Amino acid sequence: MSEVEIGRGKRARRAYTLDDIAVVPRRRTRDADEVSTSWQFDAYHLDIPVLSAPMDSVSSPQTAVAIGRLGGVGVLDLEGLWTRYEDPSPQFGEIAELEGRGATRRLQEIYAAPIIPELITARLEWIRAAGVPVAGALSPGRTQDLWKTVVDAGVDLFVIRGTTVSAEHVSGSREPLNLKRFIYELDVPVIVGGAVTYTGALHLMRTGAAGVLAGYGGGAASATRRTVGIAAPMATTIADIAAARRDYLDESGGRYVHVIADGSVSTTGDLVKAIACGADAVMLGTALARAAEAPGSGWHWGQEAHHASLPRGERVRVETAGTLEEILHGPSREAAGRVNFMGALRHAMAANGYTDIKEFQRAELVIAD
């Protein structure tokens, strides 16, 4: 493990972003049509290793259904506009028109409306009626209050997503969420994160989580590094958490926990390299915010952008690159790296002679200085 000296009293570990690395083709190749991008998550066989980020600019009930029909999983933010407003169309329209320095304050005002449990039920039931996997996300702070509403609505995958989530949260003002007890008592698979270290991920795996989110999420809309000085280069993060999965597999006697890369995966090459580093799947935010069907209308933002006391994200313009189907499956006619994620993954796997994602996780990597 390489370390560098920052000064006489402090050393730092060298870590790598996805831009820092590249996949090295092997001597053997195969036909791209013979490559499978499918994966098995708990009881669900999914055609593509993609979950949508639970961000209002990305996931609506309609896009969750569309992503499900395209082979992935659409994850709805159960603390977003769809659970605060019966018809959030005016709010989405206003957010798209916000200008200048007052945009953050107005976002905070819009998201100050209370969450309505009946709307959580209605949105999830609507997705379920379409016959696709139903996935919803809550922050750790809201999970204790709203989890029963979510489970009673018939969610298939429960996502607990925060900037940093640990199995040992300490609070002197309120009882923290006991993840191990919560997951044990729940009858649906839980994905939890973000985690960015080997030890933190290993502790989350020991709670019984079916999947761990590797990274802080946010991507282009996140300003966590600039705001609070925290960052986690994704190539190293994914590799560390994949190592925790391997060791937990031995420790638990064979229980496999999925690693889902969440953050800094905005191009087709990022997805390829995230899986080559050890991820089973990726959570796409910016890439899907560029879809013609995305509710953000070419704008992208997450919960960090409207945090009540410390906004550490932005509403950013991402433009439109194509339809959801074109972004995930092609065809790609322009915008290299932004369209046809699965086509890029199949070609990268074929160039290495691998037939499935599990094999591709063993791909050889180089530092691409």
Domain boundaries, the chain: 3-367
Tokens representing residue 53 in the block: 């980020």
Q: Tell me which residue has tokens 């092997």.
A: 26
Q: Tell me which residue has tokens 């999914």.
A: 46
**237 C-beta neighbours (distance < 10 Å), count:** 32
Q: What is the pLDDT of residue 219?
A: 58
**242 C-beta neighbours (distance < 10 Å), count:** 21
Q: What is the pLDDT of residue 228?
A: 60
Dihedral angle, C-alpha 124, 126, 132, 135, nearest 10 °: -10
Distance CA 95, CA 301 (A): 10
C-alpha distances in Å from residue 227, one per residue of 5, 316, 358: 24, 16, 37
- Nearest Cα to Cα of residue 121 among 143, 152, 147: 152
**208 C-beta neighbours (distance < 10 Å), count:** 20
Question: Do β-strands 135-138 and 75-77 pair in parallel, antiparallel, or remain unpaired?
Answer: parallel
**Please, what is the angle between helix 117-129 and helix 140-152, to 10°?**
50
Q: Which residues make Cβ contacts (< 8 Å) with residue 7, sequence separation at least 6? A: none
Q: Tell me which residue has tokens 């923290």.
A: 176
Q: What is the pLDDT of residue 362?
A: 94
Distance CA 195, CA 146 (A): 23
Distance CA 241, CA 224 (A): 20
CA 183 remoteness from chain centre: 19
In this structure, the chain runs to a length of 369
Dihedral angle, C-alpha 300, 87, 262, 293, nearest 10 °: -60
The answer to whether the beta carbons of residues 188 and 155 sit under 8 Å apart is yes
The answer to whether the beta carbons of residues 232 and 217 sit under 8 Å apart is no
Longest alpha-carbon distance in the chain: 62
Q: What is the pLDDT of residue 160?
A: 94
Strand, coil or helix: 162: coil
- Nearest Cα to Cα of residue 157 among 44, 80, 79: 44
Write the Ramachandran bin of 71: left for phi over 0, alpha for psi from -120 to 50, otherwise beta.
left
Write the Ramachandran bin of 259: left for phi over 0, alpha for psi from -120 to 50, otherwise beta.
beta
Architecture of the structural domain at 3-367? Alpha-Beta Barrel (3.20)
- Nearest Cα to Cα of residue 211 among 40, 79, 47, 17: 40
Distance CA 93, CA 114 (A): 19
Dihedral angle, C-alpha 49, 52, 53, 58, nearest 10 °: 150
The answer to whether the beta carbons of residues 42 and 101 sit under 8 Å apart is no
- Which stretches of the chain drop beneath a pLDDT of 50? 168-173
**97 C-beta neighbours (distance < 10 Å), count:** 10
Q: Provide the whole-model pTM.
A: 0.93
